[in-house]
Chain A
C-alpha cells in the first residue's frame, strides 16, 4: 500500500491524529445507527405485507382464458419448444363438439423452470403468461410439478381482448368459415362467375 506507514514508525503527532480520527468515526457510526429510529423502514413485514410487483414481472406461469371464457391454449407446442430447459410438456386433443384444439393435459415442472418468459413470447394465443406471483417455495420438489388444473386460471390475464379463434381461419362451433375477422364468405365453387 503506497503511503502507508505502520503505527510504530509514525510520529507522536500522527498517532494523536489517528486517535482523534478513530473517536470521530465511532461516534459517527453511533449517530447514524440511532438516526434509523426516525427514518422510514427498509424491511417490510413479509409475508403479512407483500411488495409491489410490476405486471410484467416473470413469476409463476398460468394458462389464461379468452374473453369468452374458453381455454386460450390450442396445444400448438410452441411454448414447449421455446423452453430452454424443456420443462413444459402437453398433449393436443380436439373437442369433438366444437372442433377447438386444446391441451388434454399440460404440465410445467417448476423445479426446472428458470422464468425466462420465452414460452410467453412464443405463445401465439397469449394463453401462457408469467404472473407477478413468485411464491413457489415447497417442501417437496414433486409439488413443483404443476398440471393443467393448477395452471389454468379463469381470467384473461394481461391481454383482455385477444381471442385467437376470431382471427384464425379454422372453423369452430359458432364461427363457421368466413366468419373470422377479415374473412369473406366462403367461395361458391359451383358458380361460373369469375
Chain B
C-alpha cells in the first residue's frame, strides 16, 4: 500500500467529541499526523463579552463536560482577583474539595473512555458506574449532575447538605476498593500493559518545549503541579504529594492519573479533617469590576488552565481569554504519534483525555 491520509474524525469512534485527526500512514505505520479542530467552535470568548459577570459562571461550566467545576472555579478566581475580593475560609475548603471530587470524576470519565478505546467495554461500564457515585454526590451538593453552576464570585452557591460528610466518607471508602479492582483489571493485565507500554514517548524536555502541562508532563518525571508550585485556595495547608512517573509513555500517563485519583481521595479526607465547621461561604460581589487585568490559573484535571480577564469598569468583561491545557497538548500530538501504528492511535490520544469543548471553545 502506498502512503495515504486517513481521517480519524470528525465522525469516528476514536474521537471523543468533534474533531479530526488526520493521519498519514504507510501500511500500518504513522508517518505524519495533523490535528484539525474547529468543528465545535462556539465563539465562547466573544460570547461572554456581553454577559454579566455572574452570568458567565454557567457558561464556564460548559467549557468541558468532564470537569465543569474547575472551569467555573478558575473563572471565579480571575474575577475575584480583578475585584479584589477575599473568599471566606470555609468556601475555599469547599471549593478545593469540589475540585478534587471533580478530578476523580473526570479521571473516571477518562478511564471509561480509554476502556472503549482499547476495546474493553467492561472498563467503560465499571468506571462510569463509579463516576455515578460522584455525580450523585455532586447532585446532592450542587443540584446538578454535570454542569454545576456552583462556584460563585466570592464563594460557593450553598453550603454542604446535611449528612454530607457521612455520604462523602462512605463514597470514598467504596471508591478506594474499586480503585484496587481497576488495578487488577488494567494494571495486572498483560494485555492492557501490551497496549500501553512504550507508546507515545515524549521526554521531559520535549514536553516543556511544547508547553504541555498536567498529568502528561508529570508522567515525564517533571514535578510540576500548580497546587504545589503556585498554590491557590487552601492547598498550602494540606498534606499531599505530587504524583510523577519517569517512563514518559502512555503507561506512565495512565499510572499518573490513577495515582492522582488515590491522591485526590487523600486530599478530600484531609480537607474533611481541616474544614471549619461553619461560617460564611459566600461574599456579595460588586456588580462592576474595576478597570484592570487579572489572571488566574489552576490545576485542571487535564493540565494548567488559565483565564485572563480584562475589566473596563462596567458589569461585563472587556475580554476574557482562556488558555486550555488540551489545546496545547493536542498541538503536540503529531510528535507523540509519529512512528507508531494505527492501532496505537486510540491508546496514545486516549491517554491525553481529549475534551473538545475546552479545546475549541
- The finding on whether chains A and B are genuine partners in a shared complex, rather than unrelated, reads no
